[in-house]
């Protein structure tokens, strides 16, 4: 058994190679080890990747609680990097939008827009604004 960081690195490589089941397995092992070590921010980061993989595979029901727990960890920790928070709010907004939870999605897109704006990530801001505009027309 390797370290949590090694498991996450293997997950990253497997996902890049298109092997989503292996990526999910490695990220899950990394998250478990990080949680055992009480490295909650690293655990949240791994959980977000697991959720992203579930989302990519069309398993929204599996993704949702992972996004929610990752967001809870990020929002409760003063050491959270804004980019990590933004990169978790964004797919959770997308998931809510896809599931028809438009009010929740709109609030999440607004939050992501503010976060990406504060980081001066124009592509993120533009994506959020496009979703916000589309939701206002709905």
Q: What SS3 state is found at 123?
A: helix
Give the whole-number percent of the chain exceeding pLDDT 70: 99
Question: What's the mean pLDDT in 74-80?
Answer: 97
Assess if residue 89 is contained within a domain. yes
Alpha helices in 37-101 (DSSP H): 40-56, 60-75, 82-98
Q: How far apart are CA 18 and CA 112, in angstroms?
A: 27
Residue 65 lies in a domain: no
In a domain, 121, yes or no: yes
The domain total for the chain is 2
Question: What per-residue confidence (pLDDT) applies to 56?
Answer: 95
* pLDDT higher than 70, residue 3: yes
48 in the same domain as 4: yes
Whole-prediction pTM:
0.95
pLDDT for 10 equals 98
Contact yes or no for 4/37 (Cβ under 8 A):
yes
Structural domain includes residue 75? no
**Domain membership flag for residue 107:** yes
Same domain, 20 and 53: yes
Identify the pLDDT of residue 24.
98
| Mean pLDDT confidence for 19-42 | 98
Nearest to 138 by CA among 92, 95, 97, 89: 97
For residue 33, the enclosing domain spans 1-60
44-73 pLDDT, tens per residue? Answer: 999 999 999 999 999 999 999 999 999 999
- State the Cα–Cα distance between residues 134 and 138, nearest whole angstrom: 7
Residues 85 and 55 in one domain: no
Residue 48 lies inside a defined structural domain of this protein? yes
Q: Are residues 50 and 103 in the same domain?
A: no
**Average confidence score pLDDT of the chain:** 97
Distance CA 126, CA 101 (A): 21
- Stretch 21-32: mean pLDDT, rounded? 98
Statement: residue 1 has pLDDT above 70: no
Q: How far is CA 113 from CA 32, 66, 70, in A?
A: 31, 21, 19
Q: Is residue 130 part of a domain?
A: yes
Within a domain: 21? yes
Phi, then psi, of 59 in degrees rounded to 5: -100, 70
The pLDDT score that the predictor gives to residue 96 is 98
Q: Is the pLDDT of residue 107 over 90?
A: yes
Tell me the pLDDT band of 138, cut-offs 50, 70 and 90.
confident
- Same domain for 89 and 50, yes or no, is no
């Amino acid at each position: 058994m390797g370290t949590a960081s090694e498991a996450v690195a293997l997950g990253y490589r497997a996902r890049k190679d298109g092997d989503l089941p292996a990526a999910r397995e490695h990220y899950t092992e990394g998250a478990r080890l990080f949680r055992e070590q009480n490295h909650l921010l690293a655990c949240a980061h791994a959980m977000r990747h697991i959720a992203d993989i579930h989302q990519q595979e069309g398993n929204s029901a599996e993704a949702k609680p992972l996004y929610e727990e990752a967001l809870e960890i990020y929002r409760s920790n003063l050491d959270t990097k804004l980019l990590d928070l933004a990169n978790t709010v964004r797919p959770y907004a997308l998931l809510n939008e896809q599931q028809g939870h438009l009010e929740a999605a709109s609030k999440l897109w607004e939050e992501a827009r503010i976060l990406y704006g504060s980081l001066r990530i124009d592509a993120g801001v533009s994506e959020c604004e496009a979703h916000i505009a589309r939701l206002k027309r709905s």
